[in-house]
Structures are given as C-alpha cells and as structure tokens.
C-alpha cells in the first residue's frame, strides 16, 4: 500500500505540473477508493436516489483533474478534495430534486458516525450543507472536520492525517461541531 501511495502522490504532482498523460494513468490507481467513497455517500441517500456511484465518481474525477489552481500535496489531500467535490455534486443534485418539494417530508438529521438512510434525504442534505456553510464562516476547521467525517466518510484517524493534527483534537472538534450543527438544524425545523 505504501508503494501505491507514493505512485499516486507522484502522479498527482505530475497532474499539477500539467502532464495530461498522468491524468489517464492516475484513474486506475484511485478508482476503487473513489468508488468506495461515492458508495459511502450514496448509502446515506434516499432509496429512490437516481444518481449512481459510477456517475458520482466520474463527475468528481472530472472536476478534480480539471483543477488548475490546486497544488496537489499528496494522496490524502486529493481524497479530501474528492470528498468535497462529491459533496457539492450531491448537494446540487439534492437541490434540483427537492426544488419542487421544498420542505415536504423533512425529517430530523442525525450527525453521527452511522447515518440512517431515509426517504427525505434530499432536504436533509441541503439543510446540513447550509448549516455547514454557516459553521465554516466562523470555524473553518470544524466545518472541514464535518465535511471529511460526515460527507467523506473518513474515520477520526484518516481525518487527523488529512488535517495533520492529532486524533484527540479531531475527536474533540467533531463533538463540538456536531453539537453546534444539531442546534442549527433543530432551530431550522
């Protein structure tokens, strides 16, 4: 696995330098992990969700490799940005899907490690996204932790690696962020 991490990091650096051949070489190395990330996202969606993991991966991948301002640091940085791109795609999709049903069938959102899927996920996802944007205004670190944990499905350990901080700090900030977001979402009901 360490060799694959080095290969991915080297490929990402080549992509950053504008090497278009590296873009084609990169996909086989990261596809399985991107697919797992997409599947994790979609497990949290409503049962009738029409977006498939493959489409989510391809959409995010196209956005990622077309980034011209990103200086890829390493594999962890790439997957953190991938999680963010998938979040954007799903939120945009949820907004489009929920536009005609604004507020219909809303359910309470539980921000916890195991999120239970429900039929009203589109509205919930938009509400969480809006609350997360509000959190990012005054505490971007907590918002990033929520994005990585809730939307990206990363563990405490993986999140601490991406953010280059201790697991204890991530765990503490995660608990505080969940409490704040719960208050925001509760107030918005």
pLDDT digits (tens, 9 = 90+) for 129-140: 888 889 999 999
Low-confidence ranges of the chain (pLDDT < 50): 1-3, 100, 102, 104-119
- Classify residue 100 as exposed, middle or buried by CB count within 10 Å of its CB (0-12, 13-18, 19+): exposed
* Predicted local confidence at residue 122, as pLDDT: 61
Quick check: 109 and 128 in contact, CB under 8 A?
Answer: yes
* Predicted local confidence at residue 173, as pLDDT: 95
* Predicted local confidence at residue 131, as pLDDT: 87
Q: Which two tokens stand for residue 56?
A: 């989510």
Domain ranges in the chain? 2-187
Q: What is the pTM of this model?
A: 0.61
* Predicted local confidence at residue 98, as pLDDT: 66
CB atoms closer than 10 angstroms to residue 158: 18
* Predicted local confidence at residue 108, as pLDDT: 45
* Predicted local confidence at residue 121, as pLDDT: 54
CB atoms closer than 10 angstroms to residue 183: 11
């Amino acid at each position: 696995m360490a060799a694959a991490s080095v290969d991915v990091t080297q490929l990402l650096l080549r992509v950053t330098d504008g090497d278009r051949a590296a873009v084609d070489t990169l996909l086989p190395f990261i596809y399985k992990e991107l697919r797992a990330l997409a599947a994790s996202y979609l497990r949290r969606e409503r049962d009738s969700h029409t977006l498939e993991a493959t489409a989510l991966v391809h959409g995010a991948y196209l956005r990622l490799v077309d980034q011209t301002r990103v200086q890829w640091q390493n594999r962890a940085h790439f997957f953190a940005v991938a999680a963010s791109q998938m979040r954007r795609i799903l939120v945009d999709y949820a907004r489009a899907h929920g536009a005609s049903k604004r507020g219909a069938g809303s359910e309470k959102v539980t921000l916890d490690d195991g999120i239970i899927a429900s039929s009203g996920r589109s509205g919930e996802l938009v509400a969480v996204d809006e609350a997360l944007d509000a959190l990012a205004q005054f505490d971007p670190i907590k918002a990033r932790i929520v994005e990585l944990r809730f939307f990206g499905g990363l563990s405490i350990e993986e999140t601490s690696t991406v953010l280059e901080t201790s697991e204890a700090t991530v765990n503490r900030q995660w608990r505080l962020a969940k409490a704040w977001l719960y208050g925001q979402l509760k107030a918005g009901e």
